[in-house]
Amino acid sequence: MENNYSVVKMSKEYVDGVFKIYCENFVEKWSRKSIEEEIDNDLARTLVLLDDKKVIGFVNVRHILSEGDITNIAVSNQYRGKKLGLMLMDKLIELAKSEGIERYMLEVRKSNNVAINFYEKIGFVKVGERKNYYNNPIEDAILYDLTID
């Protein structure tokens, strides 16, 4: 069976699906309400990855002037290993270019080797660390930047 993957802008119909994926991927959780509020946040952009009409991933960023901060990116566990995170990032970079974003920044847990490898493969460069940035458990964050060409 062929998959029908697409990436769309966040809307209310996708909030429950995004929240479900958020809960399965992150220790420190946003509430469902916080995710829904991103729809009306002028600085926020959330792209939702669909398999037909089923939410299977998302990326959330904040655009401020010419910079963006990637707050979250996740793909449903059962869809991992299919390069769908790259699909999300490609669409995000298209959006960034259309909005005049020159660079993205993000933080990642120092122990999250899967995410670190993913970001470095895309071209993110390590620019620093934040001591004890994360709670539950307490852990350092690695800071990354990506220049948008």
- Residue of 14, 104, 119, 144 with catalytic role: 119
- Residue of 22, 107, 134, 144 with catalytic role: 107
Q: In which region does residue 136 sit, left (phi positive, over 0), alpha (psi from -120 to 50) or beta (all else)?
A: left
Is 107 catalytic? The answer is yes
Is 133 catalytic? The answer is no
Short-list 141, 100, 145, 101, CA closest to 119: 145
Q: What strand order describes the sheet that includes 67-75?
A: 5-9, 44-51, 54-64, 67-75, 103-109, 139-147, 125-134
Positions marked active-site: 107, 119
